[in-house]
Chains A and B, each alone.
Chain A
Amino acid sequence: MNAIRFQKVSKIYRRSHLGRTTETPGLVELDLDIPKGEVFGLLGLNGSGKTTAIKLLMGLHLPTTGEVETLGRRAPDVAVLARIGYAPEAAYLNKTLTGRENLSLFAALSGIAGAQRERRVTEMLVKVGLDKAMDKRLSEYSKGMLQRASLAQALVHDPELVILDEPVTGLDPLAIKEVRALILWLKSKGKTVLFSSHDISEVERVCDRIGILSGGRLVKVMTQDEWRGKADALETAFAAAVVRTDGVGPIRME
C-alpha cells in the first residue's frame, strides 16, 4: 500500500504581467510511489521542485496535470490531512501566541477533542523539550525553539505520514542530530516519512530510498543498498544527476 503516489504530475506556474504570460515548470511529469513505513528523501538544488511536490501533497498547490494521492485519497482532500503531519522549512507560526496556545490551536484544528487536547499538548511539549517555555510567547523563542514548536504541531495528532520540508536547514549540529533521531524514531513507530533536503550526508544516514530532482524532473531514484558502505556514492550520483537551472555558474578559483 502506498502512502504517497504521484502519477504523471506536472505543475506549471503561470504569471501574467502587462498582458504577457510567462510559464515556469515547477514539476514535470513526476511519477513516484512511496510505500507505507518508508523514509524517503527528496534531494535537489534550490528550485528543483522539492517544495512544489510537498505543497501538492498538502493541497496548497493544485497540479496542472496528473494526479496526486496521499494515504489512498486523491489530493486535495481536507479530511486526509488529519492523518498527515507537515513541518515547513521555517517555523511559520503565529508569534502572538504562547507555545501552549499554538499547539492547542493545531490540536483543535486536527480534530482532537477538548478533554484529550490539553493532555496531548502537554505531552508533546515535553517530548520536544519546550515544557519549560510553554507559557512564553513564540516571539520570545529562539530559532531552534521555533523549529521544535513547528515539529510539535506536525506530530501532535499522531499522524501516519510525516512530511518535513528541509528540516535541518539552518540548525546547529546538536539540533540536526535530534532531528535525525526523531526521523528514525518515527520510522520505528511505522510512520511514513518524506523529507526534502540539500544535505546529502543527512539523507544518506536516515533514508530507505532517495529521489533526486533537477529542474522539476525526477532524474534518479536510489535505494539504501546503492550508497551504504560506499564512500561518496550518493554525492557522486547527485553531482552527476543534477543540472543548475538557476542561472548561477560555478565558483572559479583560477
Chain B
Amino acid sequence: MQTISAVYAYTFKEHIRHKAWLSGALFGLVLLGGALIVSALGQDERGRLMLDLGLAAIEAISLVSIVFLTVNLILVEIESRAIYLILSHPVRRADYLLGRFLGTVAAVALGMAVMAAMHAALLGLYGWWEPGRYLAALGCMLGKTAVMGALSLLLSLALTSEAAAMAFAVFLWLLGHFSSEMRFLADRSGSAFLKTALVAFSHAAPDFAHFNYRDFWHQPAPSADWLMWAALYALAYTAACLALAVQVFEQKEF
C-alpha cells in the first residue's frame, strides 16, 4: 500500500506541475466564448445552453486529457529511463501501474472539479441550480474518464507506439457510443463473420450508454440502481483493462 501511495503521489504532483492547469484555462476560454454567444438569448435558453455547452466541454477536455496522459504515462518513463530506478526498488509492477493510473485519474478529476466549479458559478448567475443532477452528471463523466484512461494505458503498453495507441483509443471511444447499434446490426446480419466481428467489437469497446446522463436529465434525479450499475460497470471495465495491462507490463524488459 505504501508503494502504491508513493507512486500515486509523485504521479499526481508530476501532472499538476506539468500541465493540469491548462485544462482549467482552456475551459475558461470555452465558457467565456459561450457566454458571449448566448448573451443575446432569453434567460431560459441562456441557462440551458450554458449547461449543455459547459458539460460537453468538461467531458471533451477531460477525455482528451486522460487519453493523452495515460498513453504517455509509462512510455515517457521508459523513454527517459526513469523506470529503471523505480523498478530497481522493491516495487511490484502491478503496484507501480496502479499508482501511476490512480495519480493520473486524480489529476484529471481535480481538473474536472475546477472546471465544474467555474461552470456551476456561471450557471448560478443564470439562475440554474440543481446540484443533485449536476453531481450525477459529473460522476458519469468521471466513470467514462476512468474507463478511457485504463483502456488507453492498456493500448499504450500493448502497442508501444503513442500514435497507434491514441488512434485505437479514439476508435474504441467512437465505437463505445454505438454498442447497442452494433449488437442490433449483429442480430440482423446474415454473415457469420460480420456477426462475430460486431459482437466482438461491441463487447471489447466500452459501452458508454451506461454513463449517458442525458437519459435522466428530464427526470428529478437518476435512480440509485442506475447510478450503482454505472459505477459497477466503470469499476469492472477499468479493473479488466488494468489487469490486462499488468499482464503485458510484466513481460517487458527494460
Q: Using a CB-CB cutoff of 8 Å, which residues 70-93 of chain A contact chain B?
A: 78-82, 84, 86, 88, 90, 92-93
Contacts of A79 in B (CB 8 A): 90
* CB < 8 Å neighbour of A111 from B2, B81, B82, B254: B2
Our pick among B6, B18, B88 for the contact of A81 (Cβ within 8 Å) is B88
Q: Tell whether, in the assembled complex, residue B14 and residue A81 are in contact, meaning their CB atoms are under 8 Å apart.
A: no
Find residues 37-93 in chain B having any chain A CB closer than 8 Å to their own CB: 80-92
Q: Beyond the given A60-B87, A101-B10, A109-B90, could you list 8 further A-B residue pairs with CB under 8 A, ordered by the A residue number?
A: A55-B254, A61-B254, A78-B91, A92-B80, A92-B83, A92-B84, A97-B14, A106-B85
Residues A86 and B88 in contact in the complex (CB < 8 Å), given A96-B17, A96-B18, A108-B3: yes
- Whether, in the assembled complex, B203 has its beta carbon less than 8 Å from a beta carbon of chain A, the answer is no
- For the complex, give the distance between the alpha carbons of A80 and B91 in Å: 11
Interface magnitude class on chain B = 20 to 34
- CB of A9 closer than 8 Å to a CB of B: no
Q: Which of A30-59 contact B (CB under 8 A)?
A: 55, 58-59
Which B residues have a C-beta under 8 Å from some C-beta of A? 2-3, 5-7, 9-10, 13-14, 17-18, 80-92, 253-254
Residues of B with C-beta under 8 A to A82? 89-90
Determine if B253 and A110 form an interchain contact, defined as CB atoms under 8 angstroms apart: no
Interface size classification for chain A? 20 to 34
Which residue on A lies nearest to B2, using beta carbons? Answer: A108
CB < 8 Å: which of A78, A92, A106 contacts B92? Answer: A78
Nearest residue (CB) in A for B81 is A92
Q: Which of B14, B87, B92 has the most CB of A within 10 A?
A: B87
Is A62 on the interface with B (CB-CB < 8 A)? yes
If A78-B91, A78-B92, A82-B90 touch, whether A88 touches B254 (CB-CB below 8 Å) is no
Does A223 belong to the interface (CB within 8 Å)? no
Q: Pick the contact of A109: B14, B91, B253 (CB < 8 A).
A: B91
7 nearest A-B residue pairs (beta carbon): A108-B6, A92-B81, A109-B89, A86-B88, A82-B90, A81-B90, A58-B88
Name the contact of B82 in the complex, choosing from A62, A81, A86, A92 (C-beta under 8 A). A92
Our pick among A59, A80, A92 for the contact of B85 (Cβ within 8 Å) is A92
Q: A62-B253, A79-B90, A101-B13 are in contact. Are A88 and B84 (CB under 8 A)?
A: yes
Chain A residue numbers with a CB within 8 Å of B13 are 96-97, 101
- B88 in contact with A97 (CB, 8 Å): no
Q: Which residue of B is nearest A110, CB measured?
A: B89
Give A70 Cβ to nearest chain B Cβ, in Å: 11
Q: Which residues of B contact A59 (CB under 8 A)?
A: 87-88
Given A60-B88, A109-B91: A94 and B6 interface contact (C-beta under 8 Å) = no
Contacts of B87 in A (CB 8 A): 58-60
Q: Which residue of A lies closest to B77 (CB)?
A: A94
In this assembly, does A196 line the interface, its C-beta being within 8 Å of a C-beta of chain B?
no
Q: Which of A60, A80, A82, A97 has the most CB of B within 10 A?
A: A60
Q: Give A154 Cβ to nearest chain B Cβ, in Å.
A: 9
Min C-beta distance of B87 to chain A, whole Å? 6
Whether A86 touches B85, Cβ cut-off 8 Å, given contacts A78-B91, A109-B90, A110-B90, is: yes
**CA gap between A81 and B86 in the complex, in Å:** 11
A-B contact pairs, 9 of them (CB 8 A): A58-B88, A62-B253, A78-B92, A81-B91, A92-B81, A93-B85, A96-B18, A109-B7, A111-B90
Q: Are A96 and B14 in contact (CB-based, < 8 A)?
A: yes
Chain B residues within 8 Å of A96, by CB: 13-14, 17-18
Hey, which chain A residues are within 8 Å of B5, CB to CB?
108
Is A105 interfacial (CB 8 A cutoff)?
A: yes
Instruction: Give Cα A97 to B85, complex, Å.
Output: 14
Residues of chain B with a CB closer than 8 A to A101's CB? 10, 13
